[in-house]
Structure 1
């Protein structure tokens, strides 16, 4: 699965290619708020763990293991996550929630960058740590259907394009460029869904 092949002029491997396809399906299903997205997330994360190990992106490799765990929790949340155990609606963070998310990102970055610099042979400890921390925050927000998860993914994915180009993961760089566009589409779709949910709630109150 690690032999090099060429796809439209891009050097890749069968493992990276399969991970690519599963990741696109995952984000497409996330945009549609389809809970089966979590199954594809688990599969793509498992495969990308191997891709990132080969590239010495150990923060991203470890992140895939966390993603698998969070995906199981997120799957449950999407199906039974609100107080009435109904399908979880799209909501926004409060100002305090946004501050907590930002502090969590910075705190996780500090810890991960230190760990990667001290205990691994990666040549990009700060970039890997910063983007891994951001991805963790984005994944938790996604699991709770917070609208701001798309803001996080847009920022993270833009930076990941540069990192993966630097590491020679050309197909994955293309994937994350696609993710930027898909995240923008997801932000718009979820904002519209949130508005529709608010209108439906208002109608129920009036009735």
Structure 2
């Protein structure tokens, strides 16, 4: 899935749906309810992202291409993500039996931001994924999900590769 993403191949989206369904089950079993719920959102957003990559358009009606956000929207997205984190943490703390509600909430809201950016082919999705994956390595270690720790460490490296690949695609468009 990640390789398809960095190659800007729409096959990434159905693969995302499949992997999200499998991880949703694992996270629910591990009482990581933010992460489990996020997988349901990912399945829905993957449908949207798939449509965006196949039929979406840019600001002037042209086919969607890899591009970058301007400075103001970057800060707005960062502020929205940081504001949503404690709110989701509070919800998880009071509505679930999660042992790590705020640690669960941060990669959850970061992943939502990353999915939105990826769906719109914004290069900023990659540093978001690097941060989410690195943080998630620690979270999954706390929960003893050792194979997932290894997978998310690999995802972090792959996100760095994707970031580099999309930056190469971005240069001709600047």
2:139 corresponds in structure 1 to 163
Q: Which residue, out of 78, 87, 95, partners 2:53?
A: 78
Is 1:115 the equivalent of 2:110?
A: no
Is 1:148 the equivalent of 2:117?
A: no
Q: Which residue, out of 9, 12, 16, partners 1:41?
A: 16
> Structure 1-normalised TM-score?
0.80
Report the Cα distance in structure 2 between the residues aligned to 1:48 and 1:59, rounded to whole angstroms: 12
Q: Spell out, residue by residue over 1:24-82, the C-alpha distance to the aligned partner (whole angstroms, 9 max, x if none).
A: xx111101100010000001101110000010000000000110111111011111211
Is 1:89 the equivalent of 2:65?
A: yes
Contact preservation (8 Å) 2:67, 2:173: no
> Structure 2-normalised TM-score?
0.95
1:7 corresponds in structure 2 to none
2:115 corresponds in structure 1 to 139
Shift of 1:110: 2.1
1:64 corresponds in structure 2 to 39
How many residues align? The count is 173
Q: Which runs of 5+ in 2 are unaligned?
A: none
- CA-based RMSD of the aligned residues comes to 1.2
SS at 1:134 equivalent: helix
Higher Cα Rg: structure 1 or 2?
1
Report the Cα distance in structure 2 between the residues aligned to 1:87 and 1:171, rounded to whole angstroms: 39
